[in-house]
Chain A
Amino acid sequence: EAGVTQSPTHLIKTRGQQATLRCSPISGHTSVYWYQQALGLGLQFLLWYDEGEERNRGNFPPRFSGRQFPNYSSELNVNALELEDSALYLCASSRFGGTDTGELFFGEGSRLTVL
């Protein structure tokens, strides 16, 4: 069974540009979570998608957005990039969202560098 896959592995952008990151969850998983791991800041919750809808977002500005497609894959868009957006972006999936208390399964991450 394939795990969570993310693309691209690395992405280099300049300030003001837009970045798009993609995630495919494990087959059968309907919930996708996005986390930002910036240097020295730990793992910060960004967004949660379930059944095609945005269910929750963390304390990030609106220029962080995304969507979930009918096949449950997801993309994260970051507009008007700033230097501090440089981070590892991790996608995770779980079989259910909401009341599920099981583990999240993580991809290898997409490393975004903003110059």
Chain B
Amino acid sequence: GDSVTQMEGPVTLSEEAFLTINCTYTATGYPSLFWYVQYPGEGLQLLLKATKADDKGSNKGFEATYRKETTSFHLEKGSVQVSDSAVYFCALRMGGADGLTFGKGTHLIIQP
């Protein structure tokens, strides 16, 4: 079946550091890809998305590019802030009966 693999962390960085969270997927077709963020005590918010190969999703300084050849959707940010501390989930959707298929989540901790 479809699956998503991402680094689980926790990932601890200093403020203004460069961030990369790796995400790779396995799917039988061409899914839409998403990054969701969960701040402490809250639900999931959509951070960015890409619906086809070579699309780049971006929001709040975060970017991710849909790479079909490497089945990847890595999340990057050039300069992280303490307020970026959260759990980040990579996910795919094939349009089937399961809704979104999620990775296990990456806990990001940014230290001042």
Q: Which residues of A contact B (CB under 8 A)?
A: 6, 31, 33, 35, 42-43, 45, 48, 55-56, 58, 90, 92, 94, 97-109
Contacts and interface: CB of A to CB of B under 8 A. Distances in A.
A99 B98 CA distance: 11
A106 B94 contact: no
Contacts, number: 61
Given A43-B89, A90-B43, A90-B44, A104 B99 contact: yes
A33 B99 contact: yes
Contact of B95 (A45, A90, A99): A99
A42 B100 contact: no
Nearest to A31: B99
B32 A101 contact: yes
Contacts of B42: 108-109
B94 A101 contact: yes
Interface residues of B, number: 24
Interface stretch (B63-71, B77-85, B102-110): B102-110
A55 B97 contact: yes
Given A42-B105, A106-B43, A101 B93 contact: yes
B9 to A, nearest CB: 13
Contacts of B49: 103
A94 B98 CA distance: 12
A97 B104 CA distance: 23
B100 A48 contact: no
B99 A42 contact: no
A98 B32 CA distance: 14
Nearest to B48: A103
